[in-house]
Structure 1
């Protein structure tokens, strides 16, 4: 579904943002992207969304090549992607229903399906009764749920979530994360960038950790320290499993 091969991204002013990324994300998979600020998480999501092209290597999303794709190809691909942001990015002068409907309008969906699709999406996130509310009338958690409904309304094959719980309290974080888990359980892939290491450690989903633009840990390839299958001192460059950590049972 998503494939990166020797991907690098470099900017003229700030230098290398990503380097030597090679991995795949399967259909229906849930993947955490972790790492400190500036590690390359948001840049990677931009490449997956095809807002930018890699400097080197290749990115394929649902068979579409980032380097070879025409504008029309990218437009068609984005209709099948759901995107969630940390700051919600809702239109303040529109109701929850209108915010969700806007996603259908910009992708050219048939107008005859708008009402049914919007109602289904809001029901799926538990906000069927809040459709006529404006963002200012909703809590942070509810605003993020509207943003998730907006991402869901076009029936995407993958959700790209950039720090979706970053502005939420603990209770709202749990609710949004449970919602993303439910969405994934229905067959939609989720790629979630997050700084919430507790959330990551307490889940069983795949983890790809970035640091200085490189993958320093991928749970699909390297079991975490304590399993007897990783270096005794931990993983160099990893915040999840730093080199100072030692596997259980060692002195």
Structure 2
């Protein structure tokens, strides 16, 4: 993805540390439950396209679980594409390309998917329309996005702490910025693109942090909205934010966060998945 304000996507390995470990979990769950227009799991030997592939979390699960005839992953970040090429085996291939101008001829793909990318497009509706263009009649268009408003516990706590120490951060809060990350909005996008049999469902995956450092330090990678915001702070404000987040977590630990005997923190992360079928 391209930079948008504090949204920086320039280092694949750094993103892996920040979000990749969780995105691989949700990608596996999404791929395992994906269904075709006949209600059966998407079979082997199909032609796939992964839009906004990032470091290849979803592409890799397609290769592993669905044994595609071919799968192309595209992303605007050359650095992320380079990481994906290193991490994901054949028959996957990758290209640097814009989600709004896919380098694929119309009707040439059986399944078009997108993981955790739709909300970062300048026009999500145009992105879905482009996916519909390249999928064959009867083919599947599907995507998933994090539930930034309420289902990403560690991010919600991060932005709540940021707003207390820096009210100007409100415009960067993903829960406010990305209204498309809600079930009704996703359904409206898919139905508005003419897709049929539209279904929206939650995907929940576990996230376990070894302790506060394991939660905080990935915010220092600079990759994505929250880490990009942290990177832009002057050191004193960054330290105030760190201490505010630590205090919130301590309060949560006394209340409702599950803490394991070794001091690790277990959370549940939620994404919303949507899929539909191109008619005709």
TM-score under structure 1 length normalisation: 0.31
Higher helix share: 2
TM-score by length of 2: 0.29
